Amino acid sequence: MVQPSVAIRTQIPREAHPFLVYRENQLAFQTAMRLKARNPRMSSPIVTLIGGRGSGKSHLARQVHREVLEEQTSTRILHTSAAEFTGQLQRASRLSQIREFQRSHRENIDLLIFDDLHELQTRPEVQQQLIAMLDDVLAGGGRVLFTTRRSPGELRGLNRRLVNRCQGGVLVDLSVPGEASRRKLVEHFATSNQFILPEETVVEIARRGPQSPADLLALLLRLRQSRSTGPVSRADLDKYLAAVQAPLSMNEIAKRVARHFGVKLTDLRSANRQASLVTARHVAMYLSREIAKSQFSAIGEYFGGRNHASVMYACQRVNELKGSDAALGSDLDHLVSQFSQ
């Protein structure tokens, strides 16, 4: 039989680096931590953390797991990922143990933490099992935390029922840390790894280094390994920082899109709904999300003070049409190729 202990994790996840709350991730942290309570102070006990690779969303999910177990040791937590869930389901199917699998993944779950929801886009049969599990957890008064690289509404192939459940809860974007927060992260990772860095080196890495927490950590570990004795040399620092390609800003993307479509940047950012501007604006919003990894709220504010839902619609629309609209596909290919140069 498939043992429930495979799914129910009672051990506190071990972390090489304690969780650090900085300004840009405070909202995500505070929202996720509400799930520690048995009756969260929110309209729906579902929180979805949205962030690109290395943004820290899974690290935050593990911190929720740790804090719940530290405060409520009897809480039953199912902490799994899309890959783990799929693999266990496939194994249960091969062994004709689907009922046992369902029982171990649905009964008496107080908190469900499900990482990498985006990986289920092409697995409708796994999504059906997840929906059933989700409904059972919620019916029993449980709470749910999802992590995903993109908003559920942007995931092509994701079951509409699953999208609706996520959108009925709280969606939180994990923001890219600003320079001040990156400095805190560099100091935090260096201390955790017993790696002494001069203040000027910390400042330089925060200013010129990668933006995501995971990439910052990877850079520090490479610097540490490259060092034989003594402090990090300026040559080593410059070599590794030169390999980091800073992402384009939303403003730069908008400028290039405006130039490509032959419109003014001020018109692109205005409330003007002229047909010739709508497509260009939608493309600029889509590329701001895909390339600059900007939050929906930040994109909406930049493009004429539009709301979160309007930006989501624009991104979804471009995503849906890019495969069937040859002209739009050509525009996107041309712009992306320019951005990569």
Question: What is the tens place of the pLDDT at every residue in 103-144?
Answer: 888 888 999 999 999 989 889 999 999 999 999 999 988 999
44 and 157 housed in the same domain = yes
Q: What are the pLDDT digits (tens) for 54-91? A: 888 999 999 999 998 888 778 889 999 999 999 999 99
- Whether pLDDT at 167 is above 90: yes
Domain end position, chosen among 173, 200, 217: 173
Please tell me whether residues 9 and 148 are part of one structural domain.
yes
Residue 112's contacts (CB-CB under 8 Å, 6 or more residues apart) are: 77, 78, 133, 134, 137, 142, 143, 144, 145
User: Do 126 and 95 share a structural domain?
Assistant: yes
Query: Is the same domain home to 18 and 62?
Result: yes
**Structural domain range at position 188:** 179-242
Tell me the pLDDT tens digit for each residue of 156-166.
889 999 999 99
DSSP 172-203: EE-PPP-HHHHHHHHHHHHHHTT----HHHHH
DSSP annotation of 5: G
Which residues are within 8 A (CB) of 75 and not within 5 positions of it... i.e. 6 or more apart?
A: 68, 69, 110, 111
- DSSP H/E element including 81: strand 77-81
Q: Are residues 49 and 154 in the same domain?
A: yes
Number of domains forming the structure of the chain: 3
Assess whether 112 and 226 both reside in one domain: no
Is residue 218 located within the same domain as residue 268?
Answer: no
Q: Is the pLDDT of residue 95 over 70?
A: yes
Sorted by sequence, the CB contacts under 8 Å of residue 143 that are 6+ apart come out as: 35, 38, 40, 45, 46, 47, 110, 111, 112, 137
Cα distance from N-terminal residue to C-terminal residue, the chain: 55
Q: From the CA atom positions of the chain, what is the Rg in Å? A: 22
Q: Residue 38, Cβ neighbours under 10 Å: how many?
A: 13
Contact 171, 153 (CB under 8 A): no
Q: The domain spanning residue 320 has which CATH number?
A: 1.10.1750.10
Q: Virtual CA dihedral for 317, 318, 324, 325, nearest 10 degrees? A: 110
CATH assignment of the domain containing 225: 1.10.8
165, 33: one domain: yes
- 277 and 301 part of one domain: yes
Lowest-confidence segment of 99-103, 225-229, 295-299 by average pLDDT: 225-229
Residue 216: how many other CB atoms lie within 10 Å: 22
pLDDT tens per residue across span 201-251: 899 999 888 888 888 888 888 888 776 666 777 777 887 787 665 567 889
Q: What is the reported pLDDT for 2?
A: 37
Is residue 261 within 8 Å of 280, Cβ to Cβ?
A: yes
CB-based burial label for 92 (10 Å; 0-12, 13-18, 19+): buried
Q: Is the pLDDT reported for residue 18 higher than 90?
A: no
For residues 11 and 119, state if they share a domain.
Answer: yes
Q: What is the CATH number of the domain that holds 70?
A: 3.40.50.300
Per-residue pLDDT at 7: 42
314 CB-contact burial (10 Å; exposed 0-12 / middle 13-18 / buried 19+) = buried
* Strand pairing class (143-148; 111-115): parallel
134 burial type by CB count under 10 A (0-12 exposed, 13-18 middle, 19+ buried): buried
Q: Are residues 48 and 57 in contact, defined by beta-carbon separation less than 8 angstroms? A: no
Residues 220, 156: one domain?
no
The pLDDT value recorded for residue 293 is 79
Sign of the CA dihedral with 13 first, then 15, 20, and 25 last? negative
Q: What is the pLDDT of residue 6?
A: 38
Q: Please determine, for residue 197, whether its predicted confidence score (pLDDT) is greater than 70.
A: yes
Among 146, 173, 200, give the residue marking a domain's end. 173
* Whether residue 3 has pLDDT greater than 60: no
Q: How far apart are CA 65 and CA 109, in angstroms?
A: 13
Domain boundary among 132, 157, 173: 173
Q: Once rounded to an integer, what is the mean pLDDT over residues 50-54?
A: 85
Same domain, yes or no: 74 and 113 = yes
326 pLDDT more than 50: yes
Buried b (16+ CB within 10 A) or exposed e, 261-295: bebeeebbbeeeeeeebebbbbbbbbbbbbbbbbb
